[in-house]
């Protein structure tokens, strides 16, 4: 075989090999770029999730703690009875503050619903569990088999949550906030606002004057709130175990 033919064959082989290596390299670069892009997107979602949960976990957890504490004290420590027999101002506080801790919790649940239609915790199981816990509390308030005391139907829960929210005027990511206790007491003088709490207020009044309260719903709601607290604070960083005591069913 002539040298020039051999040279041409070698040149062709080198060219083909170079092309194959180039294509292989480009494919590897493409796959690597795609993998890095997906990794950055995943990290970005995780960062967004962490930021969202840092904003929403604390107020939701705090409101759940306040509500479960009040229910526990009503059931176990005769909170309403003690305040009702103390003074008119103490009775007024017991009513308004009990209404507020219920309304504040519902307010933060409504804010969650508005701001994060489907809260992405980066894990389908975590998403499912949080949704389940919130639904369980919703159903505990509405459950018809637990009697009528302290009952709030689904629409009433949503309505109370709605009137408890106010838009934030600053540039923070959260577009809504829940009104504070002072504003709540002030707004209770508005008949349109207070009308949503008439039934609940009557129930509180009944429990404050009765020697024995209808407790099944209180126990049910309290138990579901403890489940939510355990989920939001699994390592007992914000709420020590001793403050998560469940009410024993009798």
Does the pLDDT of residue 119 top 60, yes or no?
no
Contact 233, 239 (CB under 8 A): yes
d(Cα 179, Cα 135) in Å, to the nearest integer?
Answer: 23
Residue at 110 is within a domain: yes
Residue at 30 is within a domain: no
Q: What is the pTM of this model?
A: 0.77
Residue at 35 is within a domain: no
- The beta strand positions in the chain, using DSSP E, are 165-167, 176-178
Contact 34, 68 (CB under 8 A): no
User: Helix (H, G, I), strand (E, B), or coil: what is residue 116?
Assistant: coil
Residue at 137 is within a domain: yes
Residue at 36 is within a domain: no
Q: Angle 64-100-110 (CA atoms, 0-180°, nearest 5)? A: 60
Residue at 83 is within a domain: yes
Question: CA nearest 150: which of 212, 222, 228, 204?
Answer: 204
Q: Is 142 exposed, middle or buried (0-12, 13-18, 19+ CB in 10 A)?
A: middle
- In tens, the pLDDT along 120-142 reads 555 567 777 888 999 999 999 99
- In tens, the pLDDT along 27-54 reads 677 776 677 666 665 555 556 655 666 6
Does the pLDDT of residue 205 top 80, yes or no?
yes
Residue at 154 is within a domain: yes
Question: CA nearest 71: which of 235, 200, 234?
Answer: 200
**Total domain count, the chain:** 1
Residue at 1 is within a domain: no
d(Cα 133, Cα 123) in Å, to the nearest integer?
Answer: 16
Range of the domain at 167: 49-244
């Amino acid at each position: 075989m002539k040298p020039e033919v051999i040279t041409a064959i070698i040149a062709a082989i080198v060219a083909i090999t170079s092309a194959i290596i180039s294509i292989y390299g480009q494919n590897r670069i493409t796959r690597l770029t795609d993998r890095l892009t997906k990794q950055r997107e995943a990290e970005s979602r995780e960062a967004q999730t962490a930021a969202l949960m840092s904003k929403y976990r604390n107020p939701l957890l705090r409101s759940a703690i306040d509500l479960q504490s009040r229910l526990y004290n009503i059931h176990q420590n005769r909170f309403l009875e003690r305040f009702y027999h103390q003074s008119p101002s103490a009775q007024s506080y017991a009513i308004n503050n009990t209404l507020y801790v219920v309304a504040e919790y519902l307010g933060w649940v409504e804010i969650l619903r508005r701001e994060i239609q489907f809260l992405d915790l980066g894990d389908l199981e975590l998403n499912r569990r949080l949704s389940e816990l919130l639904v369980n509390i919703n159903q505990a308030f509405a459950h018809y088999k637990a009697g009528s005391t302290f009952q709030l139907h689904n629409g009433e829960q949503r309505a109370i949550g709605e009137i408890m929210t106010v838009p934030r005027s600053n540039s923070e990511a959260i577009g809504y906030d829940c009104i504070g206790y002072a504003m709540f007491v002030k707004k209770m003088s508005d008949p349109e606002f207070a009308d949503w709490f008439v039934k609940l207020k009557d129930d509180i009044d009944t429990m404050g004057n009765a020697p024995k309260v209808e407790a099944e719903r209180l126990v049910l709601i309290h138990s579901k709130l403890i489940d939510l607290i355990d989920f939001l604070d699994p390592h007992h960083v914000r709420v020590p175990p001793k403050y998560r005591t469940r009410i024993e069913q009798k």
